[in-house]
A and B are shown apart, each in its own frame.
Chain A
Amino acid sequence: MRKLLLYIIILTTGLIFLARVFYLQVIDTSLALRSQDNAIEINYDYPQRGYIYDRNGELMVSNQPSYDVMVIPRNLKPFDTLEFSKILNITPDELGKKLDKAKIYSPLLPSVIIPQLTKSEYAFLQEKMRKYEGFYIQKRSLRDYQVDHSANVLGYIAQVNKQIIKDNPYYISGDLIGRSGVESVYEELLRGVKGVKYIQKDRFNRDIGPYKDGIFDTLPEKGKDINITIDSKLQEYGEKLMQNKRGGIVALEPATGEILALVTAPSYDPSLLVGRKRSPNYTRLYYDSIARPLYDRGLLAEYPPGSPFKTLNALIALQEDVVSTEDEFYCNNGYSYGRGRRMGCHAHSSPVDMIPGISTSCNSYFANVYRRIIEKYPSPQEGIDAWKNHLSSFGLGQFMGNDLSTGRPGKVPDSDYYNKIYNYPTYKWYSTATLSNAIGQGEVLMTPIQLANMTATIANRGWYYTPHILKEIEGEPIKEDKFTVKNHTTIEPRHFEPVVEGMHQVYINGTARSLQVPGIEIAGKTGTAENFTKIDGKRVQLTDHSIFVAFAPVDNPKIALAVFVENGYWGSRYAGRIASLMVEKYIKGEITRTDMEKWILENSLEDEYAKPLSGEPFTINQ
């Protein structure tokens, strides 16, 4: 025993040590992480965000320097909080809360204490910062808007939130990220890549050189400058025309699918969402639930398309070979069908064939055409699905696959949809049950950009490029297949000519004859869409939406657009005028019909929008 005891003690000690070392080095992995935090400091070098130009090279967005007061909680030394909070112009309480938050986020990574100082605040603070260890000023670049329009197109940048940091390891607290519009879709192009330097620290937190001689360090990569397809002047003009109104304008270049203008009204000045005032301004815009300035109507609003949709029915009928352009239909101020049901129409000469059918927007004509399409097939189900198939080839009823930050698919009903609502096969349904589709008032819903794209497709006589907003990266045109390969519709090109002619006639002797632009041949279509709201749970009809689609010139289309004015009454009243002015502005560069421009600028629909909110009884369509 006396000989053995020491053996036992020595071996036991050795085993205990091995176990402990094994625990520290192999089992407890948290220590390895702490060592990284401890000894290695990561410094970031933020590159300039790329500039945004319009299609003509006009600078829309550049940068301005901005300075954030940052903290690394681990490096904090005790300091006079009262004095420091006075310098930062916040209360000691706020400072304490911010510091607590920073500690919770990470004791070792930087957190923002005061974001986005002005230059003068920065100059004042810079001298005093030295005294407060652990705090420093991080220079970043903020957006500097050269234009006061296009807010919905450009989007804005803001500090990343916790969720983004969690989802994308590239970002750390305080980083800026594009949050909507072009800024968000092309975030990675615009932001570039931040550079990283790993610095070996000693225990006094002094730099003692690059970690592993800098083999993990990276240089920052500058953000790329981009040209977007927007025509800044046209966009600005569109927003001006839409003042005091609600709605949207989407203008496309038919030959390329490029978006020339994407107007939503009401909108706001993009400079409102820059810097320290971003947050209160954003909150104000966000909570304006009546005008909804952050809601991009050009992309998100799904409306019944109204009469412009008739052009598609005409095309489908020709392709399905159920009517010829010469087939005439009578109209007796409307169309009667079923048991005493009737679709009204306005006064015009009768009978009409296709071209006057389109230019006078005859409901009876299209009711007949639509029934022929559906009834060509043995069952209405097959008819509807064939009809839908054609519409899908125009990109309707689905997301367009464009490069915009937001969008809606719209709606094109199919047989399943009607089977469900009419409870098939218990009850049967026939083409007349879906007759509103003939005139764009039924279950079909389209967004203004879909309407514009439909117009561009007609202008191109049968094909379209997916609408897109990015034109060039650092001067190089984009090469993405999605935007450079034509989408062909199911309609043969030869069937487009009569429809184009019908739309041309709209301007010559149809619903838009008062909107002609001297020297420019325009094709267009008016539209009026009934709409309803709920007041105290009751369905109440409001003044019709004013809709207009157009493209010009007829033979060599440069622009195709859709205009949508909420509660603007009939198509040519607001939307038609605006479309006509937009076409003239884009093609001629100037406006000759100043009285029409004046009328649009001076007339406001605010009274109309106030009606349903007034709580008083009101009349519509005045």
Chain B
Amino acid sequence: MAKSITGYDWTTILIFLLLVGFGWANIYSASLGVNTGNLLDLNQVYGRQGLWIVLSFFILIIVLSIEPKFYQRFSSVIYIISLLSLAGLFVFGKTIAGQTAWYVMGPVSLQPAEFAKAATALAVAKYVSGIQVNLKEFEHQLKVFVIISLPVLLVMMQPDAGSAMVYFAFIFPLYREGLHFAYLLLGFFAAILFVATLAFGIPWVIGGILAIGGLMFLRNRKRRPNILKYLFLMTVAIGFSLSVNYVFENVFKQHHRDRFNIVLGKEVDSRGIGYNTNQSEIAIGSGGWFGKGWTEGTQTKGHFVPEQHTDYIFSTVGEEWGFLGSSFVIFLFVLLLVRLLYLAERQRSQFSRVYGYSVIGIIFMHFLVNIGMVIGIFPTVGIPLPFFSYGGSGLWAFTILLFIFIKLDAERISYI
């Protein structure tokens, strides 16, 4: 434990408590059935979530009791155990809804992919904080890439594309620690090209690349640019676009394609594949300024939004608490992330800082993808809203992820 209880960052803990509490209130409303039991009824979704929350308090106390050195020293072990637990799924795991993502032991199911994010964060922090490691060197870049890619591959094989996507979060700590800006830019342009290819089709994208390339060449022609360089870059861009198209049409499954098409506005069939997003937007939109009141949401009561207590929990907030409630939740997340950034920057040890940035990246990715999906500006990718959505594994994994950092921060003076 810390030297004194004041060492912990109570701002972060308060936000954590608010999110968990408000989350439970919304899960309660979203899972309210016709026959309502008492609040502790473990047959009810809200009853179980209540239990997960209580257990998460025990977990965070355990996390805070462990010495920071333990996390650094044993990060590799934790990472390897985590990889084994992911690999073990293919032997012992249970397949639910097409995903082999669960260990089921009697009444308890665990989702190792949730915990793997924290383990990977520790491993990345450990490696990057090594004295001889320099992220400007290709060899070290490659090694980090491998550390991150192993869990991604295992998660992809479940298959759980949503969770795999979260690992993009590690670009943030790596960039902070010296990775070249070009990687960030590359990723950014790749994403734009990716979306543009799907949205406008190959002919337009190629036309656009040629036009932009041509214009830039003409503008810079006084400096006698190397025409081959331009041609090369344009060829790479077109090649990328073509391969995206190929992957989209031949590697992606139909439901992946559908999900992208909805967000790109290509599909408007509200009873078909756009149903989730459409219902979610209706629920949120019907909330107005102040919402319909807790447990009074007609869309929520009618269970129009599928998976409303898990991935779509934000739509309940929108319907029942209105703009007031949804901006409150957005505000809490932004506040949490900004606070964590502040904490990460004040760390003396590189390990703590890298870990902190990883935590921020992971929470941010979830925040971005989840709420973006629920409000209809991001493709439908099933990942939970941290601390908020229903689910024991998710809640515990985020609790562990966050509180390791709170512990590291609390001990930042004594521990270097």
Contacts and interface: CB of A to CB of B under 8 A. Distances in A.
B367 A13 contact: yes
Given A31-B285, A203-B304, A39 B298 contact: yes
User: Among the interface residues B282, B322, B323, which one has the most CB atoms of the partner chain A within 10 A?
Assistant: B282
Contacts of B387: none
B341 A10 contact: yes
Contacts of A14: 330-331, 333-334
A24 B284 contact: yes
A20 B303 contact: no
B176 A2 contact: yes
Contacts of B377: 16, 20
B281 A31 contact: yes
Interface string B329-353: 0110110011001000100000000
A13 to B, nearest CB: 6
Interface residues of B, number: 48
A312 interface: no
A526 B301 CA distance: 77
Interface string A1-20: 01101110111011011101
A600 B284 CA distance: 77
Contact of B279 (A11, A17, A36, A203): A203
Contacts of B145: none
Contacts of A447: none
Interface stretch (B194-202, B253-261, B286-294): B286-294
A18 B371 CA distance: 11
B360 A6 contact: yes
Contacts of B296: 212
Interface of B is mostly: helix
B391 interface: no
Nearest to B175: A2
A108 to B, nearest CB: 13
A202 B33 CA distance: 11
Contacts of A290: none
Given A14-B334, A18-B330, A31-B282, A26 B302 contact: no
The interface size bin for chain A is 35 or more
A24 B364 contact: no
B361 to A, nearest CB: 8
A25 B371 contact: no
B298 A21 contact: no
A6 B341 contact: yes
Contacts of A201: 302
A22 B288 CA distance: 9
Interface string B306-322: 10000000000011001
B208 interface: no
A163 interface: no
A39 B304 CA distance: 8
User: Among the interface residues B175, B176, B303, which one has the most CB atoms of the partner chain A within 10 A?
Assistant: B303
A9 B357 CA distance: 13
A32 interface: yes
Contacts of A39: 298-299, 301-302, 304
11 contacts: A2-B176, A6-B172, A6-B357, A11-B338, A13-B364, A31-B286, A35-B298, A35-B319, A200-B301, A202-B302, A211-B298
Given A24-B285, A30-B285, A34-B282, 13 more contacts: A10-B338, A14-B330, A20-B375, A21-B284, A21-B318, A21-B327, A24-B375, A39-B299, A39-B304, A201-B302, A203-B279, A203-B303, A203-B304
